[in-house]
Amino acid sequence: MGNGTLSAIDVARLYPTPVFIYYADKQLPEWNQEAEKVLQLFPGESMEERLAQLISWVELDVGAYAGKMDSSILTKEIRLNQEMRFYEVITSPMYGGVGEFEGIMLVLRDVTALRAAEARRLEREKEETLAANLLSLLAPKNWIAPTRWQVFGRSIPARALGGDYYDIIPIQEEKKVILVVADVMGKGVQAALWMTMARQVIRQAAARYRDTGSTVEWIHQSLFRDLYHAGAFITMLFMVLDVESGRITYVNAGHHPALRIHGEQAEFLSGKGPALGMTEKPGYTVNFQAIQPGDTLLLYSDGILDSWQADGRGLGKEGLAKVVQQARLLKAREMLDGIFKAARAYPEGQQRWDDMTAVVVRRE
């Protein structure tokens, strides 16, 4: 050019993607180094033959762009060895200084990886939606004994599917209520499958309930072998509420302790043992406590404690105790609202967060 301005092909050489420049007044185009690699994908004895194949592949008609201002975009595929590759083809008309049509610029963008990722995402979404629909059918019902007890639970998975699980199971003609909060290692479909299996086992255990210790032992025995061999584990807080006396008996298998609010006092209930699947002889201890009129009990998953706040720290046990204490006079459902609002104080999607589950027990 000599006058300091860059020609179209000079610009194309700076592009990291394949570019072909077809001039209106020339038979052969020009192309950059990346485009050279694309040409090698087409069969042909000479470069002219390969170019002819390329034109046919992208359905190019240079003359058709004369007088047009718009670019066209289409996606084309080509087989390379045994693998299909996908290119986005962007064709734009070029005009000179006085508005004369000079030709077209053809830019190719390899979108194979993007398409594969998109296909995987769609497949995963489909799978998760199906499973989430199934799981929503399995969601436990809240339990209320008018003027005496309110038991409300809620679980929000971080993805379409989560590894958290809670259950509220009235037994013995509603003289007792089994409360469970469990957290399966990991996330996604695999964790959800473990969770469904654990739910099944826990429900079976509830149906044959005699006492808390032997019930948890049965759950452990039923799940241990599968969990151990898969290298997985489930943390679980298993609790039985005696409706008449307010007494609770519970076993903690590697889970965060329940929080009891009595008057203005907040207390995390003692008792711990290894998570399900961790060891063959866990030696679980059965613990006893009482829920008195006016008391609140909270069972929760680690997602409630760990979810990041605006200051970059988790809500933590102290923060949770404060939230529940402040909400102690509210109804169970409103208290749940407050807990989830506090735990999700930061903008969604901007920070790491986990499945969140909580069960509130209020004695009136």
Partner 1 sequence: MNIQFEENGTVLICKLNEDLDMASANLFKTKVEQYIASVSFEKMVFDLANIGFMDSTGVGALVQMIRLIQGRGARVRLTGYNEEIGDVLDLIGVLRIVGAE
Residues that bind partner 1 (CB under 8 A): 163, 183-187, 231-233, 235, 254-256, 272-275, 278-279, 282, 302, 354
What does the CA dihedral 165, 170, 176, 182 come to, rounded to 10 degrees? 0
What is the C-alpha to C-alpha distance for residues 201 and 240, in angstroms, rounded to an integer? 16
- In the complex with partner 1, which residue's Cβ is closer, 153 or 314? 314
Q: What minimum distance in Å lies between the beta carbon of 132 and partner 1?
A: 19
Q: What minimum distance in Å lies between the beta carbon of 162 and partner 1?
A: 11
* Contact yes or no for 203/167 (Cβ under 8 A): yes
Contacts of residues 286-289 at CB distance under 8 Å and 24 or more positions apart, as own/partner, are 286/211, 286/212, 286/213, 286/216, 286/249, 286/250, 286/251, 287/249, 287/250, 287/251, 287/252, 288/247, 288/248, 288/249, 289/247, 289/248, 289/250, 289/260
Q: What minimum distance in Å lies between the beta carbon of 287 and partner 1?
A: 15
- In the complex with partner 1, which residue's Cβ is closer, 275 or 360? 275
- In the complex with partner 1, which residue's Cβ is closer, 164 or 295? 164
Q: What minimum distance in Å lies between the beta carbon of 138 and partner 1?
A: 21
* Contact yes or no for 313/345 (Cβ under 8 A): no
- In the complex with partner 1, which residue's Cβ is closer, 176 or 220? 220
- In the complex with partner 1, which residue's Cβ is closer, 18 or 273? 273
**Residue 239's closest CA among 206, 199, 208?**
206
- In the complex with partner 1, which residue's Cβ is closer, 140 or 282? 282
Q: What minimum distance in Å lies between the beta carbon of 302 and partner 1?
A: 8
Q: What minimum distance in Å lies between the beta carbon of 235 and partner 1?
A: 6
Name the β-bridge partners of 50: none
Q: How many beta carbons lie within 10 A of that of residue 281, not counting itself?
A: 8
